[in-house]
Amino acid sequence: MNRRGEFDAIVVGAGAVGGAIALALARDGFDVALIEAHEPKPWRAEDDVDLRVVALAPDARNLLDNLGVWPSILAARAGPYRRMHVWDALAPGALTFDAADRGEAALGWIVENKLIQHALWQALLPLPAGERAGVRGGQASTISPNAVRMFCPAEIGEIENGTDAVVATLADGTRLRAKLLIAAEGAQSPVRMKLGIAFEGRDYGQRAVVAHVATERPHENTAWQRFQPGGPLAFLPLADGRCSVVWSLPDAEAARILALDDDAFRSELGCAFDFRLGAITATTARAAFPLRMRLAENFVSGRCVLAGDAAHLVHPLAGQGMNLGFRDVACLHYALRLARASNGDIGAGHVLRRYERERRSENALAATGLDMLGRVFGANNAPVATLRG
C-alpha cells in the first residue's frame, strides 16, 4: 500500500469468511485493507461454550490449517466427530457414516463460531500485543505482520465502482482505492445493498432452538440427527462431553419450547430425541434464530464480489453454511493468485466471473438441495415417510 491508501484488495467484514480471505491474501503478499464495524468480542477459555457452533468439514479444517490458525483452534476447544447417525421419527430408515470407513480420523469438528473468528482476528492483529489497542477510529495506527491494514471500527459510506479500480469512502471520509472489494459482512451486507444486488429466497417459518446439554450416556463422538415432522433435531458432540442441540421448529412451537422451564425442556427434548443418549441431565440457557434460504442474484458487480453469508444462506440441517463460505474463500483465493501469477488484473471481469460461475452454481445447488431435503423430511404423511425411509 502507498500513502494515498491504495491496496490490492479491500475486504469488508472480519467474521470467519472475511477474516479468512483477508489472511489468505495477505500471506500471499497482497496488500489488504480490512474494514470491520465492531471489534469481535474475545474468545476466552474460562467462558462457557458459545451457543453458535459449526460443523467444520475436512476441507474447511485444511483451509484453516493452511492459514496457520487451526493448531490454536484445536488446542483451545474443538470436538471431532467420527460418526454420524441419521434416522427418521416416522419411518424405519437410518443412515450411519463412519470416518474409519473412509480411512480418516474424523468426519469433521464441532467448533464455536466465535473461536474461529477470534483465531483469525488474532492472526490479523498488529504485533506486539501492546500496539493492538491503537487500532481505533477508522484509522489503523499499525499494520499486521501479514500486511493487512485494519480499519476498525469503520463503515463504508460510498462505493465508486470504476473501470480500473474501486474506491471505498469510509464514514469518516477516508478514501481507500483497490483493484477489487470483497464483501463478507454477513446476510445483512450493506455493500450488497449499496450495489443493488437482489438477495432472494424464502423464510421457512421456523427457528432453530439452540442449547448445550449433558446426557446420561456419552455422545460417542457421534453427530446425531433425527428428522421429525416439525424439522430436524441435531445433537452435536462438544469437546467437553456435552452435546450442542440444534432443534428446528415452526415459529410458534419454538416460542413454546423457549418458554419452558429447564425441567420441562429436558423432558420434551429427551422425548424428541427418543432418549438415544438416555435422559437429558442438564441444560444451558436457550436461544433461537430464524431459518431462511437466500441467494444473491449475482456474486459480482463490477470490481466488487460477494462471499459467505453476504452471497448465500442455506438451511442448517446439514451444517453446510460456514463450509460453503470457506469454499468461497478457497475458490476466490485461487482465482486471484492465478490472475496475479499471469501478471493480470485481479479485479478484471473475467477473473471474478470465474469465481462467480463456480461458487454461485454450487451454492445454488446446495440451497435448493437442502431446501428439498427439508421439505421431504418435513412431510407428515405415511406414503412420503415410507418412501424416504
Segment 26-31 shows an average pLDDT of 94
pLDDT of residue 229: 84
Rounded CA gap, 295 and 308, in Å?
A: 11
Contact at 8 Å (CB) between 320 and 236? no
Taken in order 318, 321, 323, 324, the sign of the CA dihedral is positive
0.85 surpassed by pTM: yes
Rounded CA gap, 237 and 63, in Å?
A: 22
pLDDT (tens digit, 9 = 90+) per residue, 195-222? 999 999 989 899 999 999 999 999 999 9
Backbone angles phi, psi at 377, to 5 degrees: -85, -10
pLDDT (tens digit, 9 = 90+) per residue, 329-346? 999 999 999 999 999 999
Q: Which residue has the cell 495506527?
A: 141
Q: Which residue spans within 238-314 are E strands per DSSP?
A: 243-250, 280-283, 287-296, 300-301, 304-306, 312-313
Rounded CA gap, 162 and 164, in Å?
A: 6
User: Higher confidence at residue 372 or residue 314?
Assistant: 314
Rounded CA gap, 187 and 168, in Å?
A: 20
Rounded CA gap, 169 and 212, in Å?
A: 42
pLDDT of residue 347: 97
% of the chain exceeding 90 in pLDDT: 78
Segment 89-94 shows an average pLDDT of 79
- CB-based contacts of 137-141 (< 8 A; 24+ apart in sequence): 137/172, 138/170, 138/171, 138/172, 138/174, 139/172, 139/174
With 50 as the cut, is the pLDDT of residue 223 above it?
yes
Distances (CA, A) of 4 to 1, 34, 176, 177, 346: 8, 16, 8, 8, 20
pLDDT (tens digit, 9 = 90+) per residue, 102-152? 889 899 999 999 999 999 999 998 755 444 433 333 444 345 666 799 999
Rounded CA gap, 213 and 284, in Å?
A: 6
With cut-offs at 50, 70 and 90, classify the pLDDT of residue 93: confident
Contact at 8 Å (CB) between 108 and 50? no
